[in-house]
């Protein structure tokens, strides 16, 4: 068996281990009871009772969607995929059905919103929307009609929310993208504004500000660039004047390719990476844009899919092979490579951690794609630190 297919089995097994407690409990409408409150004091201060289940489901499906949405040739893997796609649809039903004990609120008025002046549900409605964009056939088309109606109604409720003036603008745009692909009329003003404003916040060399300020963190990968690329592509034909939509796609993809190249270079020979900035406990979510670049065929020049696979495999192993990552019921613990609760900010709860699934996006590629159907390949840091002569890096 080629090294890539061995890696794929490891990726599938790890993704299933991560998502299993979420979707098994979601199907049973038992999420609110089952999800651990890792720090009850933080939980109460962040008002997580109102948001945590949507946070958990939206983030889990955001990354798992590419695998759930792709029929597999391997019989065993396909049986797994069908099982979890079914559970995912049941979970979407559970959080949107008005009569479900796991029903979540997609809009919470400011006066009921605790210490947060903004409504957190917009964030995770957007991650759920991104999942629908990535796997519409499995996560929307196959829903019962009543569930489709409930889901659309829930997503539309987020239009009442005023997003913060930073990466949150993209959450509004992503909800509109999901509504558009399922046949609803989008608010193109929200779409254009979220993209235009981020274009004004571009700092150069593949990096956007999170708002007007630059932050040393991974929000260009957690949120900004993956959403910008997919929103731009979704609405490419919606802005035809002067080929505006097409030009936006070209610019956004060029910058994303550069950022993906930077992410690949940040992975050290042993699979570690710089622990910089907030929300670091999203683990492999820090490499969503690199994973998405492989998935969508926007791989940086001079970087092979095989070396991206090998780099990401090392990151996944570093993040998840520690025995302290999961509790006795299979839920993720707060940390980067184990139980490290002090790395979690006030807003981090168990549900937050599941954005790690976005590092697994290449599972949406066929097993005969170059990404999987190839032997081992050194990634950039391993080549350089092994003494191999390499071209110098260049900004764009």
Answer whether residue 291 is part of any domain: yes
Residue with tokens 């003036």: 165
**112 — pLDDT class (breaks 50, 70, 90):** low
pLDDT at 111: 66
Answer whether residue 251 is part of any domain: yes
Say yes or no to pLDDT of 362 above 70: yes
Q: List the domain range (segments joined by +) for residue 224.
A: 3-385
pLDDT at 369: 96
pLDDT at 113: 61
pLDDT at 142: 98
Answer whether residue 395 is part of any domain: no
**339 — pLDDT class (breaks 50, 70, 90):** very high
Q: What is the pLDDT of residues 219-234, one digit of tens each?
A: 999 999 999 999 999 9
Quick one: tokens of 257?
A: 């390719």
Lowest-confidence segment of 98-112, 162-176, 248-262 by average pLDDT: 98-112
Question: Cα–Cα–Cα angle for 5, 9, 14, nearest 5°?
Answer: 145
pLDDT at 365: 97
pLDDT at 115: 55
How many structural domains compose the chain?
1
Say yes or no to pLDDT of 307 above 90: yes
Residue with tokens 């190249």: 261
Q: What is the pLDDT of residues 208-222, one digit of tens each?
A: 999 999 999 999 999
Say yes or no to pLDDT of 391 above 80: yes
**Mean of all residue pLDDT scores within the chain:** 95
pLDDT at 265: 98
Instruction: Tell me if 140 sits within 8 A of 370, measured CB to CB.
Output: no
Question: For the chain, what percent of residues have pLDDT higher than 70?
Answer: 97
Quick one: tokens of 279?
A: 């929300």
* Closest-CA residue to 360 (of 76, 109, 10, 2): 10
Q: DSSP letters of 153-203?
A: HHHHHGGG----SSTHHHHHHHHHHHHHHTTPPP-HHHHHHHHHHHHHTEE
Residue with the bigger pLDDT between 155 and 51: it is 155
Answer whether residue 143 is part of any domain: yes
Q: What is the pLDDT of residues 27-65, one digit of tens each?
A: 999 999 999 987 777 777 777 888 899 999 999 999 999
In the predicted model, what is the mean pLDDT of residues 121-128? 97
pLDDT at 114: 56
Answer whether residue 391 is part of any domain: no
Answer whether residue 392 is part of any domain: no
pLDDT at 119: 86
pLDDT at 39: 73
| Residue 202's CATH number | 1.50.10
Question: Cα–Cα–Cα angle for 311, 317, 323, nearest 5°?
Answer: 170
CA dist 390 → 184, 196, 374, 394 (Å): 50, 37, 22, 12
* Closest-CA residue to 345 (of 274, 275, 273, 281): 281
pLDDT at 194: 98
């Amino acid at each position: 068996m080629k090294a890539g297919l061995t890696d794929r089995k490891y990726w599938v097994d790890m993704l299933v281990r991560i998502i299993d407690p979420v979707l098994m409990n979601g199907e049973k409408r038992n999420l609110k009871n089952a999800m651990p409150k890792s720090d009850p004091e933080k939980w109460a201060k962040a008002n997580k009772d109102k948001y945590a289940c949507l946070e958990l489901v939206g983030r889990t499906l955001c990354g798992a969607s590419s695998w759930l949405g792709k029929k597999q040739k391997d019989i065993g893997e396909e049986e797994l995929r069908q099982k979890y796609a079914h559970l995912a649809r049941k979970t979407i039903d559970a959080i949107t059905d008005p009569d479900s004990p796991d029903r979540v609120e997609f809009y919470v008025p400011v006066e009921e919103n605790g210490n947060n002046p903004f409504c957190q549900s917009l964030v995770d409605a957007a991650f759920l929307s991104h999942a629908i964009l990535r796997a519409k056939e499995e996560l929307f088309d196959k829903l019962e009609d009543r569930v489709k109606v409930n889901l659309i109604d829930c997503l539309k409720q987020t239009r009442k929310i005023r997003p913060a003036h930073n990466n949150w603008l993209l959450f509004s745009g992503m909800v509109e993208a999901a509504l558009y692909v399922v046949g609803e009329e989008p608010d193109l003003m929200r779409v254009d504004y979220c993209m235009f404003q981020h274009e004004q916040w571009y700092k150069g060399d593949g990096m956007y500000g999170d708002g007007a300020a630059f932050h040393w963190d991974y929000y260009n990968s957690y949120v900004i660039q993956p959403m910008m690329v997919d929103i731009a592509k979704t609405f490419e034909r919606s802005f035809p004047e002067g080929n505006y939509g097409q030009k936006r796609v070209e610019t956004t993809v060029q910058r994303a390719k550069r950022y993906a190249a930077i992410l690949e270079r940040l992975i050290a020979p042993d699979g570690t990476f710089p622990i910089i900035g907030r929300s670091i406990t999203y683990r492999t979510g820090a490499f969503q844009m690199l994973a998405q670049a492989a998935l969508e065929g926007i791989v940086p020049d001079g970087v092979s899919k095989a070396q991206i696979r090998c780099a990401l495999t090392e990151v996944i192993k570093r993040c998840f092979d520690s025995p302290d990552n999961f509790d006795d019921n299979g839920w993720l613990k707060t940390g980067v490579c184990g139980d490290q609760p002090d790395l979690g900010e006030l807003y981090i709860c168990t549900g937050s951690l599941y954005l790690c699934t976005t590092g697994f996006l290449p599972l949406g590629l066929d097993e005969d794609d170059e990404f999987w159907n190839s032997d081992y390949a050194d990634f950039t840091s391993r080549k350089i630190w092994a003494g191999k002569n390499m071209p110098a890096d260049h900004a764009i």
